[in-house]
Amino acid sequence: MSRYKVPRGTFDILPADSYKWQFVIDAFREVAREFNYKEIITPIFEKSDLFERSVGELTDIVEKEMYKFEDKKGRILALRPEGTAPVVRSFIENGLNLKPNSSKLYYLGPMFRYDRPQKGRYRQFYQFGIENIGSNDSYNDAEVIGFANMFLSKLGLKNFELQINSIGCKNCTKDYDNALKEYFAPFKNDLCSDCNKRLEKNPKRVLDCKVKTCKVIAGKAPSMLDYLDEDCTTNFNKVQQYLTAMGIPFKVNPKIVRGLDYYSQTAFEFIDTNLGAQNTLIGGGRYDTLAEQLGGKNMPGVGFAGGFERLLLSMGEEKLSLGKQQIPKAYLVTLGDEARIAGIKLLMELRKNGISSEFDPDKTSMNAQMKAANKTGAKFALILGEDELESDKVILKNLENGEQKDVNISDIIQTIKDK
């Protein structure tokens, strides 16, 4: 047994499962192409204050969960806990607003949070996400939601529900913050210590607390929808109209605030109705002031993010297809040194022509090689011995039905392709 194990809260993606992840990634990329989103890849670590300024000092991510470290020159860096801030940082730094077809972006990759590991939640986890930057038109809110809805549907998921809310803007949130402070004041002794701090500086964070007593108290808190100004009300109504036009069912949930401070106006979550407390498959919303917070111009944006781990759990719960494990189409069987050399040449030609092929140099007998061929799940065995080599042929054996025939070596590639 190895003396080393993966760190707590992380996991290996083994060959028996990696094809499932690839299946989901391929589906996501396909939807991205359909919506004309292009991939952006950012570093896995950034300056820590990028997240402290954008995500919010009183969020759990910044207060408790960031992996921060000091490099050899004394710079304070952090492994990225989320994907939006790095994408917006790159958008500003590289002037993507000035380049055509660069406002609709998607990303894939690992994120890091020092969190209590539990089912579907890890310290290194893998996210997919999109960002639509540069316009405050409410159509973009609906398009981002439509992307998420199509992605979940393409995977075959059915037991999910879209919940939407508007959390207002800086012009209308002050009155709401005051209303929350007034509501929560009698419960200060019952709220957790974190929520007592949040209540003073950002009371909406109390609505996002996961502590049971805080959740119960927040259940009857005032609704942001009663405090929206005219612009935010119009925006929220238009988003609902566009979603209806797209044929996407939704439920208005005034308690959705999302866990990051940069959100404003539209906030949404896709909820798995079969999972327990950790049931959000995809969450996102609008962030119209984030670019300015990071030193850029006024560039409104909207996006979402989701985790692969929870998505795979949901697909497993619904017993959905997760693709097929990779198997070779052909397995090379050789007998004798000369046949092995000729077979290796043929093997490379097969691969160059897009035919997945396998060969095990440690197995030399006919029986051992045929057993290995069957174990791989290959469709064909290509058998090459001295007799075949002299006649410039190879035996093509169909491992599914046992049929076999002699084929000219020069014709074997096309013969396999035709099958």
The whole-number pLDDT of residue 356 equals 97
The whole-number pLDDT of residue 276 equals 64
pLDDT in tens, 214-227: 888 888 888 889 98
> What is the layout of strands, in order, in the sheet containing 45-47?
45-47, 76-79, 68-70
* Measured CA distances, 370 to 350, 382, 387, 392 (Å): 19, 10, 18, 21
The whole-number pLDDT of residue 57 equals 59
Which of 83, 117, 128, 111 has the alpha carbon at shortest distance from 6?
Answer: 117
Query: Distance between CA atoms of 14 and 17, rounded to whole angstroms?
Result: 5
- The answer to whether the CB of 88 falls within 8 A of the CB of 290 is yes
Sorted by where each begins, the domain ranges of the chain are 15-172+228-317, 330-418
Query: Distance between CA atoms of 155 and 220, rounded to whole angstroms?
Result: 36
- The answer to whether the CB of 326 falls within 8 A of the CB of 352 is no
The whole-number pLDDT of residue 417 equals 92
Contacts of 173 (CB under 8 A, 6+ apart): 167, 204, 224, 227
Q: Phi and psi (nearest 5°) for 71? A: -85, -175
Q: Answer yes or no: same fold for 15-172+228-317 and 330-418.
A: no
* Per-residue tokens: 301: 């944006």
Determine the 3-state secondary structure of 364 from DSSP.
Answer: coil
Q: pLDDT in tens for each of the 419 residues of the chain?
A: 778 999 999 999 999 999 999 999 999 999 999 999 999 999 999 999 898 876 665 556 666 688 999 999 999 999 999 999 999 999 999 999 888 888 999 999 999 998 777 777 789 999 999 999 999 999 999 999 999 999 999 999 999 999 999 999 888 888 888 888 899 888 888 888 888 888 887 888 788 787 888 888 888 888 889 989 999 999 999 999 999 999 999 999 988 877 667 788 999 999 998 876 668 999 999 999 888 888 888 899 999 999 999 999 999 999 999 998 999 999 999 999 999 999 999 999 999 999 999 999 999 999 999 999 999 999 999 999 999 999 999 999 999 999 999 999 999 999 999 88
Tokens 């906030």: give the residue.
Answer: 267
The CATH number given to 15-172+228-317 is: 3.30.930.10
The burial class, CB within 10 Å (0-12 / 13-18 / 19+), for 274 is: middle
The whole-number pLDDT of residue 384 equals 96
Q: What would be the CATH architecture of the domain defined by 330-418?
A: 3-Layer(aba) Sandwich (3.40)
* Per-residue tokens: 209: 């607390």
Tokens 């035919």: give the residue.
Answer: 355
Query: Distance between CA atoms of 214 and 100, rounded to whole angstroms?
Result: 47
The whole-number pLDDT of residue 65 equals 84
- The answer to whether the CB of 369 falls within 8 A of the CB of 318 is no
| Residues shown for the chain | 419
Query: Distance between CA atoms of 403 and 20, rounded to whole angstroms?
Result: 32
pTM: 0.89
